[in-house]
């Protein structure tokens, strides 16, 4: 007899992982006490149908109430939907979620402008931010810039629809209000937009010199780039000690993403949507598609032994998923949020001291000063523009042997400083 919601809620974790049937080939998976005792739903379906088929596990999501969690009723409805789709289309049931996830993943892999506004408003404490700013953003800014526009696509230099850069789109909002004879309100709109984009920068959703709302009255003055905060090389050992303590109780995936960020110094927007299929293990390379790179070109990351060891440990948890850092929490989110790494550093007590993007500066300086590699080798591995545009576009594989040597030395140096994989 199928279990009721109250029965599911009453089930307790034990010393071993449990798979409890709730009816119709839907299981409640209860992790062991040592793994936290979490509950999640997983369906099982034989595919292809018949004796020749294999039992395919399909993850539904975490059990519970609230955003991103599934009640027993919702899990059953979702499982019915997946099973019906698989039978009607004669396709692997896992492919439905993969297709839906791919539709939801945008190139920036970051939050939308509306989500960035909401995040800012929830973090702000002033009376104006609580009363006046929501009205300004919801009624006059978000409709113009687009609620679903990835906030990164509003960066100063990013070209959007019609070839307009983020700066132009923001200034159109400002100038249209000036044209109405409401200059004071235009200034206030620009100020509120600036605060939202500053918040996006702090969260790692936008590069630090790309706030499109800086300056007033249409000035062309660009913001002077401010380096992302990063620790000096000799302070990394204590940082690694604090990382391993994991006092903020970060998830295994976020901690692993932070370590991959340390070893590869990639932008979080390129790193977090990492797919297993991007690994070319025969060549010991991670091949990142151009659509995820700021340069727009495919990028090669040599796989060092420590990086491969870390990825091998992750396979036990997400090896059956499309994404290496597949989100374990919420429906409709295929991988962890790009801001997760910076948020974890903040919870560790390193706000204003260390950011994920700041690790790029650590690699560039320590790679030269400590390891003795040339700036060109390091910048190429960072996917920085080096040389003329033609050269930039066609030679990501250039100096790959030297880059591999640098990556090996870099990861070994991190281990000597106390990083654990």
Residues 113-143: tens digit of each pLDDT:
998 999 888 888 777 667 788 888 988 899 8
Token couple for 298: 């495919």
Low-confidence ranges of the chain (pLDDT < 70): 1, 35-36, 66-69, 100-109, 128-129, 161-162, 215-227, 248, 250, 329-333, 385-398
**Considering only CA atoms, which of 74, 56, 58 is closest in space to residue 66?**
74
**Considering only CA atoms, which of 407, 417, 418 is closest in space to residue 305?**
407
Radius of gyration of the chain from Cα atoms? Answer: 24
* Residue 397 to residue 6: CA distance in whole angstroms: 58
pLDDT value of residue 101: 57
pLDDT value of residue 394: 38
* Residue 66 to residue 126: CA distance in whole angstroms: 28
Q: Which segments within 315-421 are labelled E, that is strand?
A: none
Question: Within 10 A of 135 (CB to CB), how many other CB atoms are there?
Answer: 9
**Considering only CA atoms, which of 306, 309, 304, 268 is closest in space to residue 288?**
268
**Considering only CA atoms, which of 400, 381, 411 is closest in space to residue 304?**
411
- Tell me which fold the domain 5-104 belongs to: Double Stranded RNA Binding Domain (3.30.160)
Q: Is the CATH code 1.10.443.10 the one for domain 233-416?
A: yes
* Residue 319 to residue 315: CA distance in whole angstroms: 4
Which residue ranges make up each domain of the chain?
Answer: 5-104, 113-202, 233-416
């Amino acid at each position: 007899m199928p279990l009721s919601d109250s029965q599911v809620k009453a089930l307790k974790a034990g010393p071993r992982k449990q798979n409890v049937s709730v009816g119709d080939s839907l299981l409640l998976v209860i992790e062991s006490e040592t793994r936290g005792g979490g509950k999640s739903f997983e369906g099982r379906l034989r595919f292809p149908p018949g004796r020749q088929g294999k039992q395919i596990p399909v993850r539904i999501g975490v059990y519970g109430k609230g955003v991103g969690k599934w009640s027993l009723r919702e899990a059953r409805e979702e499982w019915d939907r997946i099973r019906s789709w698989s039978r009607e289309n004669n396709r692997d049931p896992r492919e439905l979620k993969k297709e839906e996830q791919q539709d939801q993943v945008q190139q920036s892999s970051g939050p939308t402008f509306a989500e960035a506004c909401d995040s800012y408003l929830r973090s702000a404490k002033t009376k104006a931010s609580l009363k006046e700013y929501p009205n300004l953003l919801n009624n006059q800014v978000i409709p113009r810039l687009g609620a679903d526009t990835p906030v990164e696509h509003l960066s100063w230099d990013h070209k959007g629809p019609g070839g307009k850069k983020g700066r132009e789109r923001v200034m159109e909002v400002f100038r249209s209000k000036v044209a109405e004879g409401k200059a004071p309100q235009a200034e206030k709109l620009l100020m509120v937009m600036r605060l939202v984009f500053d918040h996006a920068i702090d969260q790692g959703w936008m590069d630090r010199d790309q706030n499109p709302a800086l300056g007033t009255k249409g000035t062309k003055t660009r913001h002077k780039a401010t380096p992302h905060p990063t620790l000096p090389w000799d302070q990394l050992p204590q940082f690694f000690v604090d990382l391993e303590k994991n006092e903020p109780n970060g998830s295994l995936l976020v901690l692993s993403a932070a370590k991959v960020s340390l070893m590869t110094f990639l932008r979080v927007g390129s790193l977090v949507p990492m797919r297993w299929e991007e690994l070319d293990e025969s060549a010991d390379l991670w091949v990142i598609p151009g659509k995820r790179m700021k340069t727009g070109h495919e990028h090669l990351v040599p796989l060092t032994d420590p990086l491969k060891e870390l990825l091998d440990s992750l396979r036990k948890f997400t090896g059956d998923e499309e994404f290496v850092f597949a989100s374990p929490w919420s429906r409709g989110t295929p991988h962890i949020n790009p801001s997760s790494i910076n948020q974890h550093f903040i919870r560790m007590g390193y706000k204003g001291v260390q950011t994920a993007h700041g690790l790029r500066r650590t690699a560039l300086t320590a790679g030269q000063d400590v390891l003795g590699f040339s700036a060109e080798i390091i910048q190429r591995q960072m996917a920085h523009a080096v040389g003329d545009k033609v050269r930039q576009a066609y030679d990501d594989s250039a100096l790959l042997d030297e880059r591999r040597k640098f990556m090996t030395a870099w990861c070994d140096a991190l281990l000597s400083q106390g990083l654990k994989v």
